[in-house]
Every structure is written in C-alpha cells, then in structure tokens.
Amino acid sequence: MKTHEVYIGIDVAKTSLDVAMHSTEQRWNFSNDDIGIEHLVSALQELTPILVVLEATGGIEFPAASALALAGFPVAVVNPRQVRDFAKATGKLAKTDTIDAKVLAHFASAIRPEPRVLPDAVAEEFATILARRRQVIEMLTSEKNRLCRAKMSVKVSIQDHIKWLEQALAKIDDDLNQSVRKSPIWREKSLILRSAPSVGPVLSVTLLAQLPELGTLNRKQIAALVGVAPLNRDSGTLHGKRTIWGGRASVRSALYMATLVATRHNPVIKAFYQRLLNKGKSKKVALIASMRKLLTILNAMLKHGTPWRYVESPIFGSCS
C-alpha cells in the first residue's frame, strides 16, 4: 500500500488504544500508558500515515494525541457526535472498540478533518481547572436550591458547605488569574480579549484553553467550531428553520454568560442586539446572533493582535 493512502483511526479507552487502518484488516492494540503510547508511535512511524484521527474523550486522548503530534504525525481530534452520525450513515450500527477504530479510520479517509492544534501543557492545565470550576458552580447551585427547602436541622450544615464552596471558587479564580500572568503569550492574548467590554477572566481563559483555534480561522469556521453557526434543518415538515447544535459546549456556555452581560454593557453588542429585537427577532434568536457577533469580533482581535478600541477599524468589518 502506498504511504499516501494510509489513514489511521484510534479508539481511546481509559486503559487501551485500539488502532485500525482504513481499507485493510490490520489492527493493533496498545495499553494507554507511556509504554503503550511509545509502541504506538513506533508502529505508526513505519506506516507514515497522512492523517490520524481520535475522538475527544474528556481528556484521556491527550497523552496519545500529544505524543503523536510531537512525533510529527498530522493528528485530528474530532467530535464523537460527528463520528457516530458518520457511522450511522455508513450502516455501522454496532459499537465495539474494534469497530469504532475502523469507523474512525474510514472517517479520516472520507471526511479528512483538518489536523488542529492540540492544547499545549498550559492549555491542558487550564482546561482541568475550568472543568473543576464548573463542578464547583454546579455544587453551589445544588446546595443553594437545597437550602430553600431544607429544615432547620440541616440548614446550618448546608450554609457551611455553601461558604466553603464559595471560598473554593474564589481560590480557583485566583489560580486562573495567577497562571495567566505567569505565561507571557497567554497574558498578551488575555489582555487583548479582556479589553472588550463584558469579557472577563473566565471567558478569556476558557477561549484560550479550549478554543486554541481562535484567531487562526475565519468567522464562519470559528462560529461552526463553537456551535453558534445556524444550520439548515429542512426535513419533513421542518422548512426554513435554522438551529445551532454541536460544537464545544463549555466554550458556548461561557460565551453565553458573557453575551448576556454584553447586551447591556458592550456598546457594539448592545446596539446589535437591540437592532435585531426591533426587527421582530425573538430574544433567543437575537442573543444567539449576538454570541456569534461577539465571538467573531474576538476572533478578529486575536488574529490581528488589536485590542477593543480598534474594533471599528476596517479589518473587523461592519458591526451591523
């Protein structure tokens, strides 16, 4: 087989790596640890694949994907939902590790996703901290809801836990800020992002850690990547409807909260949001469009290395 025809799919589990090559029956299985990953890299070096595809699996794919990228392989980490939709479309309804690896290899050959920049060690650390921050916020919300219904015998305990969680959240936010200050590159990018009204430390760190493509793609690509690009859903009785789906939920959540603030305090986004409402758009549609507008502007700011005060310049396009 010619080397330019080699497409590899890797199904990542907590303890194992199942590997398949498209259009052949070749299979490999390696342990998902330092030794297994070293053997994986050695095996693929003999094949010189033009693309290696793995699914995003909550972070356990990072060691293998990073090692492959460092070894010079073109690596794409893709959304599992895209792969499952592709598998259904090709009639692969069963789901096993071996089948998943084969589907990933076929996906690599047919779809050829662009290899994207993997988060570096700093980005991975930030992503971990942000995940913990979301967990603490969820626990805070749950405890506050319980407090409203709790009997006096347990209220003190819940109040103490709420106080502890609030202190933990403050510590996490402080750690994030300190970490950004220690990285010159991240500090510069964070300053650019935070120059925009309504963009705070949480959104800036979320974008830097979980959207490393920001500033490298065009406005349509970055909107689709995050999941705020409207997609047609013309099927059956549904015609003319466009919805958003897919993308990176954690980035979208942070962007949503920042946009809520922006519709009140960011002059460009506020005017854009009000203009849509005046045209008869629903608040939900106007808010999603405003999320896309804010993301587009932030993308242009990083691409050109320009802070918010230059947002009206021609490189950002019309704000209407």
Closest CA to 101 of 4, 3, 1, 30: 30
Q: Which one of 88-102, 130-144, 281-295 scores highest in mean pLDDT?
A: 281-295
- pLDDT per residue as tens digits for the range 68-80: 887 888 998 888 8
Q: How many residues does the chain have?
A: 320
> Distance (Å, rounded) from C-alpha 206 to C-alpha 212?
10
- pLDDT per residue as tens digits for the range 9-66: 999 998 999 999 998 888 999 999 889 998 999 999 988 899 999 988 767 887 888 7
* Contacts (Cβ under 8 Å, ≥6 apart) of 228: 244, 247, 252, 255, 288, 291, 292, 295
Q: What is the pLDDT of residue 99?
A: 73
Burial call 8-29: b when 16+ CB within 10 Å, e when fewer: bbbbbeeeebbbbbbeeeeebe
As beta bridge partners, residue 19 has 10, 28
pTM above 0.85, yes or no: no
The more confidently predicted of residues 129 and 105 is: 105
Q: How confident is the model at residue 311 (pLDDT cuts 50, 70, 90)?
A: low
| Per-position DSSP letters for 248-302, written without gaps between them | -HHHHHHHHHHHHHHHHH-HHHHHHHHHHHHTT--HHHHHHHHHHHHHHHHHHHH
- pLDDT per residue as tens digits for the range 153-185: 899 999 999 999 999 988 988 887 777 777 767
Q: What is the pLDDT of residue 244?
A: 47
As a three-state string, the secondary structure of 110-127 is HHCCCCCCCCCHHHHHHH
CATH of domain 3-111: 3.30.420.40
Domain boundaries, the chain: 3-111, 120-182, 194-320
Q: What is the pLDDT of residue 80?
A: 84
- pLDDT per residue as tens digits for the range 123-160: 777 777 878 888 998 999 999 999 988 888 899 999 99
- pLDDT per residue as tens digits for the range 217-263: 888 888 888 888 765 444 445 444 455 445 678 889 999 999 999 99
Is the per-residue pLDDT at 307 higher than 60? yes
Token digits for 86?
């592709």
Q: What is the pLDDT of residue 1?
A: 39
Inter-residue contact 258 to 292 (CB < 8 Å):
no
Rounded mean pLDDT of 202-228?
Answer: 86
The more confidently predicted of residues 195 and 98 is: 195
Inter-residue contact 127 to 217 (CB < 8 Å):
no
